[in-house]
Amino acid sequence: MKIISTATVFPKHYYRQQEIAGFLGEYWRDELDSREAMERFHRNAKVGGRHFAIPLEDLSKLKNWGEANDVFIQQAVELGESAVRKALDMKGIPASAIGAIIFVSITGIANPSIDARLMNRIDFSRNIKRIPIFGLGCVGGAAGIARAADYLKAYPEQMALLLSVELCSLTWQREDLSNAHIISTALFGDGAAAVVLCGAQCSFDGPKIIASQSVFYDHTEDVMGWNIRAEGFKVMLSSEVPNVVLKNLRRDVDQFLGQNDLSIDDIGLWIMHTGGPKVLEAIESALDLSPDALDFSWACLNEVGNLSSASVLAVLDRIMQQPPQPGTWGVLSAMGPGFCSEMVLMRW
C-alpha cells in the first residue's frame, strides 16, 4: 500500500494568538479569576495563530449546541469537499476511482454523515464503501491511515480516501472556566485534511505503508475526551497526558519496530501528532530524539495549532511536499481518547 496524495485546507478566518487571548479576555470578562493566567496559558501553548470556522465575534453569538453543530455540518461539507478535490486533483485521480472513503471527526455530529453529504457534490462511485468514524479524537488521522491500509490489503487493486475535518472552535463552552478548557482554547484550531492511498497493484509513486500497530491503555478513560452535556462537548484533558507518553511510548515503539526488524536508530523521519508543547517534549524525551527530529510537528503547532485528528495529516502533508531520500524509514503516530496510540511504519 502507498500514500500517493495529501492535502490540507483551512477556513479563511485566521487570528494571531494574542488576538484570540484578547477576545477571550473580553468574552469571559466577568467570570475569569485571572485574565493574566488565561493569557499565560495561551503564551505557553507555543501556538502563533490558528484558523477558525467562523469569525471570533460570531462564536459568542452561538446560542446552543444545536446552532454550533449546524455550523459544523455546513463548514465540514465545504472544507471536506475542498480537501478531497485538492488531494484528487494533485494526481489527476477521478473521484469515481475511489473504492472506499473513511471520514474521521470528533468536533461535530451529522447523520447523514459528512461523507454521505459529499456524495451529491463529488462524483464518487455509487458503490463506494463509506466508513464514518467518530470518537477517536487526536488519534483519528493515524488510525484512519492504518484502517485504509487494512482495507487495501483486501482490495489491492483499489484506492481509498481518508478525510478528516475538525472544527475545534465550535466546541468552546461559555460556562466552562476549567484549566482544561482554557488550555484547549489556547491550543486547538480548525482545518481539514485528505489522504489518498492505493493498493499494491497501483502504479503511483509514494511512501509505502509497511505495518501498523494499535495500543490501548487500560483504565485511562479519564485522560482525554468529551463529557457530552446538553451544552455540547465539554473537554476532558488531564495533565497526565505527557506522563502517559513518557511511561508508554518508548516501550510501544521498540516493540513495533522490533516486530519489523528495526530499531529507533533506523528511523529517519518522525511524523508526530501536534498534541501540544508538553506532549512533543515528552515524545522527544521518551524516544531520545535529536533536537530537530520533530521540526515539522513544531512548525505545524506554531502555524495552525492542534487540529485533533487532522494534525498528524497536516504534518504528513508538509513532508509529502518535501520528501526525504528514497529508502528513508518513517513512523507516523498519534495518541488520543481511550487512552490509546496508533503507529504506522512507512518507507519512502
Q: Is 210 helix (H, G, I), strand (E, B) or coil?
A: strand
Residues 191 and 79 in one domain: yes
Domain boundary residue among 198, 223, 239?
198
Domain boundary residue among 180, 198, 216?
198
Distance CA 18, CA 27 (A): 14
Q: Is 332 helix (H, G, I), strand (E, B) or coil?
A: strand
- Whether residue 239 has pLDDT greater than 80: no
Give the active site residue among 138, 198, 300, 340.
Answer: 138
- Whether residue 230 has pLDDT greater than 90: no
Residues 192 and 212 in one domain: no
| pLDDT value of residue 269 | 96
| Average pLDDT for 50-61 | 94
Residues 188 and 212 in one domain: no
Percent of all residues in the chain with a pLDDT value above 70, rounded to a whole number: 100
Distance CA 38, CA 45 (A): 11
Distance CA 80, CA 165 (A): 6
- Indicate the average pLDDT of the chain: 93
| DSSP character string of 45-72 | TT--EEEESS-HHHHTT--SHHHHHHHH
Distance CA 315, CA 305 (A): 11
Q: Looking at the domain assignment, is residue 203 inside a domain? A: no
- Residue 138 is among the residues annotated as catalytic for this protein: yes
Q: Is the Cα dihedral 141, 328, 242, 32 positive or negative?
A: negative
Distance CA 190, CA 80 (A): 12
Residues 281 and 222 in one domain: yes
Domain boundary residue among 141, 164, 198?
198
Distance CA 167, CA 53 (A): 6
HSE-up of residue 75 (Cα within 13 Å, Cβ side): 29
Q: Looking at the domain assignment, is residue 326 inside a domain? A: yes
Q: What are phi and psi of 108, to 5 degrees?
A: -170, 165
| pLDDT value of residue 223 | 80
| pLDDT value of residue 226 | 83
The cell for 261 is 526488524
| pLDDT value of residue 304 | 97
| pLDDT value of residue 177 | 86
| Average pLDDT for 237-256 | 89
Which domain CATH number covers 315?
3.40.47.10
User: DSSP assignment, residue 128?
Assistant: P
pLDDT band at 119 (very low <50, low <70, confident <90, very high): very high
Distance CA 68, CA 294 (A): 34
| pLDDT value of residue 299 | 96
For 142-158, what is each residue's pLDDT tens digit? 999 999 999 999 999 99
| pLDDT value of residue 300 | 97
CA end-to-end span of the chain: 12
For 180-220, what is each residue's pLDDT tens digit? 899 999 999 999 999 999 999 988 999 999 999 999 988 88
Residues 228 and 191 in one domain: no
Residues 170 and 302 in one domain: no
Domains in the chain, number = 2
Distance CA 234, CA 145 (A): 27
Distance CA 338, CA 348 (A): 31
Residues 41 and 167 in one domain: yes
The boundaries of the domain holding residue 248 are 208-347
Q: Is 73 helix (H, G, I), strand (E, B) or coil?
A: helix
